[in-house]
Structure 1
Amino acid sequence: MVHGGGSCSSGGGGGGGYSHSSNHTYVHISTSNNSRGHRVNGHRQEFTCNDCKGIFICLGLCCGCRGKNHVQRMFRIWAWLFIIALVTGLAVGFGGFGPKSVPASPTDMIPITNGIHSSFCHGVDIDTTIPVSVFLLLSTPAVSATKVKYVTTQTALIAEDRYEYWGFYLLSGSKIELEVCGDRDGDMYIIKGDGNFDSWKEDNYNVGTYKKTVRTRACVSPHHDATKIPFSVTVTGEYYLVLTNHNYKPLSASITFLLDRTVYDLGQNTKFCSNTTHCHVDLAGENESKSIVVYVPETDDFDFNVKTACLRRNEVFIYIFLLIPLVIGFLATGYFVCIKCRLNVLSRARSQQESHIRASCPSAKGYQAIPNVVRNEPSAPPLDDVDPPSYDEAVKYQKR
């Protein structure tokens, strides 16, 4: 059973450190003076596409969209391809397909899908602290027509302004009935999913984070005065059942969990491992397309995890994060080389055309400047009171 506790918030959010005890994991959450039902500004900021503009511009400039010459552009492209391939490969190999830890509860049937895929993993190692059974299913797990009942009673001593929670992985169609008997009033919340539970820790009064809440009353006899809370599961997932104490004194309570579980039909499937704390599942060959389901038997241990480790296919990571970047790099290099060759051809053709034009025109040295000879004609004599020259005078003047 997923089990733990923490401090209640007063309407605001706040992060804190984790403190561990023998049976509980407490999360200290700072409080604020904000009114209930509102978040503190700045605690959850969504990353929108507008925030990506600067990143895309920076990557575009750094990856070679701009540069002084083609050599610098190609160098930048190769450098960034190497960095991106290295970082992405490490993130996928050790992050997405790295070791995972799944919290488990008694009688849980948990499909192992997170960080496991036959295309990237040739096998899976499963480790637990209590014996479990591992099944290989031919296809997607099918729901059985029969249900399994599970009943457990837990006691809790919750200090003022704190909470304690229990978690179960429940399939769609399951039913929960809680019987809460405490010496004081309390608040029981039913929350689905880790994300909603984390948001609820920041603001216990945010109605969008929980599926149901019921005010529990003080009781004397668990069989007569207990607060009964029924709930039907419509979506498969992790469900957290949280009891809070907003009193000024500690709350001592007894909680009975009555689960009418929907289970997978495992009758016609292969039980790969039975009642063991370590199981190696081979996903090669005929097991490549099969699904893995871990069945947790009834146990008194309420705090344990199912740890999985993907045995990676190294050749797949080499193909994706080495060969593909190399192909992209060579294509980009060929593109820039073609552009450079085309520019060289155009420049050579332009030079030849200019040379041909200069050769077809007469040279400037073949031309000589012809002096402009001014011919001085004899001016005519004035016509007023002057007799024209005689023939001899005119001839003489002409000769001169």
Structure 2
Amino acid sequence: MTHGLGGGGRGLSGGLGGGGGIWGMHLHHHSSEGRSDCCVDSICCIINIASILLCIRKMSRYLRIALLWIYVATAVITTGLLISINVLGTNKFQAAPTDMRKVQDQVNNAFCQSLTLNSSDPFEAYTFDREPVVDPSKIEQFNTSYFTSMTGDTNTYWGFYLLKGSKAVVVSSGDELISVFIIKGSSNLQAWIDNKGSCNGCYLASHVTSPTFTYTLDVSQSDDYYFMYYSTSNYVIVVNVNVYITRTLYDVSSATSHCSYRPSDKPCSLDISLSPHMNVVYHNGGNGLHDRIDMWSTCKSRVWMYMIVFALIPALMTAPVTFLFWKYCKDDRSQENLAVDSEDNLPYNKF
């Protein structure tokens, strides 16, 4: 479950895709002169590297080879660090009771040997060798209530991740000065926030509320869904929201491994295969301790894969280029020739 608040077009609190956070709106101004300088520097850098690799720039073979290995090492280290930042470390996110979804952030089948899952509430974890399939015959009920007061140019929303075939019924109080928008996907949510609803195609439907407002959402595609309440009233309006969700679940009969977690147990550790089709799925219990569940995952690196990708392969690719440099790129002897010419022009050499 995701919850967010906003007002006055200045900012919004809440999270996208199952996590809480702070959303701020910042404007950055870049002068055209700054962009031109950046482009010039980039072009010059590319030309400089190309002139060295193509043996156009005059220099000794030792220096040319040294620069080649420095450039390769810099590129490899930078790429490795970027991948490590996106894969390794702890990924914190939030979930709701009865949530069932794939773990997608900070997990990579090639670079993760195993994934450790932990939570503040009980959950079940599964691994699949292929895309998990939704079983429409397996359903789970989840009901929750919210209370808020709205006035002026403000908005508040609640979001849920729902699998295909699920149904969500929203019953709330309201007023003709409060509208509700049904939004699919975190990118559309952000588009709505940036434009205050004045965005083409960023929401599925919009309705003016009433004291007995009801809306039914039939989910045709698995995704995050948000119920955004937006007020234009000059006075305070109290809003009570009741959400009744009938969730479909994945068919776990084809799962390749399974782990049950309780807060007093050790975290679930799941082996990750090299198959790009493998998925890790978690399912929170309906009798959890909290309405908003904190979860976190940690990827254990596959060390030998890092060694192959960022050490062995670059070395094997750079070694032949080094040989070509040594064989075909001649040393720059212009300074030596200049010194010889200078000696020939000395007075004592004329006698």
Superposition TM-score tier, normalisation by shorter sequence: 0.7 to 0.9
The alpha-carbon distance between structure 1 residues 240 and 73, as it changes in their structure 2 partners (threshold 3 A), is: farther
Cα distance in 2 for partners of 1:4, 1:17 equals: 7
What's the CA shift string for 1:116-160, capped at 9, x where partnerless?
234311111112222222123343212113133322222122343
Equivalent in 178, 191, 196 of residue 188 of structure 2:
196
Q: Return the letter of the residue paired with 1:168.
A: F
The alpha-carbon distance between structure 1 residues 214 and 58, as it changes in their structure 2 partners (threshold 3 A), is: farther
| Pair 1:235-2:227 in alignment | no
Check the 8 A contact 1:160/1:251 in 2, yes or no.
Answer: no
| Pair 1:296-2:284 in alignment | yes
Q: How does 1:1-400 map to 2 (within 5 A)?
A: 1-9=1-9, 27=23, 55=42, 58-62=45-49, 64-65=52-53, 67-69=57-59, 71=61, 72-146=63-137, 147-182=139-174, 185-204=177-196, 205-217=198-210, 219=211, 226-267=212-253, 269=255, 270-276=257-263, 279-283=267-271, 290-298=278-286, 299=288, 301-340=290-329
What's the CA shift string for 1:45-84, capped at 9, x where partnerless?
xxxxxx9897466335236345223634433321111111
The alpha-carbon distance between structure 1 residues 196 and 8, as it changes in their structure 2 partners (threshold 3 A), is: farther
TM norm structure 2:
0.76
Cα distance in 1 for partners of 2:157, 2:14 equals: 16
The alpha-carbon distance between structure 1 residues 285 and 149, as it changes in their structure 2 partners (threshold 3 A), is: closer
The alpha-carbon distance between structure 1 residues 98 and 136, as it changes in their structure 2 partners (threshold 3 A), is: same
Runs of 4+ with deviation above 4 angstroms: 16-20, 24-30, 40-43, 51-57, 284-290, 341-344
Q: Return the letter of the residue paired with 1:121.
A: C
What residue is the counterpart of 1:360 in the other structure? none
TM norm structure 1:
0.68
What's the CA shift string for 1:359-389, capped at 9, x where partnerless?
xxxxxxxxxxxxxxxxxxxxxxxxxxxxxxx
Match of 1:319, SS?
helix
Cα distance in 2 for partners of 1:126, 1:307 equals: 6
Q: Return the letter of the residue paired with 1:69.
A: M
What's the CA shift string for 1:70-100, capped at 9, x where partnerless?
6344333211111111111011012244432
Cα distance in 1 for partners of 2:39, 2:166 equals: 42
**Aligned-residue CA RMSD (Å):** 3.5
Check the 8 A contact 2:261/2:268 in 1, yes or no.
Answer: no
The alpha-carbon distance between structure 1 residues 268 and 326, as it changes in their structure 2 partners (threshold 3 A), is: closer
Check the 8 A contact 1:6/1:27 in 2, yes or no.
Answer: no
Return 200-209 or 271-280, whichever deviates more. 271-280
Return 169-178 or 296-305, whichever deviates more. 296-305
Return 124-133 or 138-147, whichever deviates more. 138-147
What is the aligned length? 313
Cα distance in 2 for partners of 1:239, 1:18 equals: 17
Check the 8 A contact 1:273/1:279 in 2, yes or no.
Answer: no
Runs of 5+ unmatched residues, structure 1: 31-39, 44-50, 220-225, 345-400
What residue is the counterpart of 1:395 in the other structure? none
What's the CA shift string for 1:143-189, capped at 9, x where partnerless?
11313332222212234322111111111222222112126631111
Cα distance in 2 for partners of 1:267, 1:162 equals: 46
Match of 1:130, SS?
coil
The alpha-carbon distance between structure 1 residues 156 and 29, as it changes in their structure 2 partners (threshold 3 A), is: farther
Check the 8 A contact 1:133/1:275 in 2, yes or no.
Answer: no
What residue is the counterpart of 1:375 in the other structure? none
Match of 1:247, SS?
coil
Check the 8 A contact 2:97/2:291 in 1, yes or no.
Answer: yes
Percent identity of equivalent pairs: 20
Q: Return the letter of the residue paired with 1:4.
A: G
